[in-house]
A = this chain, B = another copy of it.
Amino acid sequence: MIVILKENPNQKQLNNLKNWLVSQGITIHESQGVNQLILGLVGDTTGIDIDLIKALDIVEDVKRIQDPYKNVNRKFHPLDTVVDINGLKIGGGHFQIIAGPCSIESEEQIVEVAMAVKKGGATLLRGGAFKPRTSPYAFQGLRQDGIKLLLEAKKITGLPVVTEIMDISQLDLFADVDVIQVGARNMQNFELLKKLGTTNKPILLKRGLANTIQELLMSAEYIMAGGNPNIILCERGIRTFETATRNTLDISAIPVIKGMSHLPIVIDPSHATGIAKLVPTMSLAATAAGADGLIIEVHNDPEHALCDGPQSLLPETFAELVKKIEKVRAAIA
């Protein structure tokens, strides 16, 4: 970390700063610039809040040279992480397609969709049991019963399953779930992240609607600092002023994250756009940009599609899409 001081800093405040830094275990290397004194801080600065120092009257600016994330940082772990999901691999060239309905509604529904997406080329099954809903009056999911139905579909199809946790207290119900999803609204639920860090379950960590890529990596760092390296990042759209899509899918997050971190990154085009007819195109774009996987909503029955999300694909559209995805993967290989 480099601290650039203002010209002629108050000496008492400067001494306060230096003493405090030393008390934090930091060694200070001073170098006199043309008008400014510059402090080079040596040691572990990851616990130092850059904003605190920036705000001091005597400080012109602070520049972090060390990234604030360590475990998830590609600099210290140059090779791609490959997350093993009971034998199924993702990352480091392994590409997986997660598909399934928005909400689990009945055994018939989840099993039917599970078989359809398996046939269409999905390698993991998704389905929501605990549903984060803006309105307290909207369907909140089948909750523990939903998890049971999802595990039933897993048994029948053999597909590993991904489903969302909303609170620490639900963790016991996820014993047989293969990948635990942390939703966008919980990306900075730090107590939950800490708890998940103590498990060894693969975690699918979604980027918050208004979170920067660095913040996403810091949330992953919470999990990894707790001892769990099995993290799959997920970009699912960010909030902007554009209203034609539900959110704006930040495809550039793929190469940016690949530069910063070794963790696999998957894309959720369904929630990002909120519009089924945009999902195939955005899936191909994400694939071309080097995503390690996709998470796509598929519903079972157009006659009852009302209960599914407006972003859900029909199984046959999904199956056609998977073929195109494979072609794009081959093209960029």
Contacts and interface: CB of A to CB of B under 8 A. Distances in A.
Interface of A: 2, 4, 16-17, 20, 29, 31-36, 38, 40, 42, 46-47, 49, 51-56, 60-61, 63, 65, 68, 132-140, 166-169, 185-186, 188-192, 194, 208-210, 212-215, 218, 221-222, 225-226, 238-246, 248-256, 259-260, 272-278, 281-282, 284-290, 303-311, 324, 327-328, 330-332
Contacts of A226: 136
Given A169-B169, A244-B256, 9 more contacts: A2-B4, A54-B310, A55-B274, A61-B63, A132-B188, A136-B194, A186-B189, A240-B240, A287-B288
Copies of this chain held together in the complex: 4
Contact of A166 (B191, B208, B252): B191
Nearest to A133: B190
Given A240-B240, A244-B213, A285 B52 contact: no
Contacts of A20: 306
Contact of A241 (B16, B33, B210): B210
Residue from A214, A282, A303 having most chain B Cβ neighbours under 10 A: A282
Contact of A252 (B33, B47, B241, B282): B282
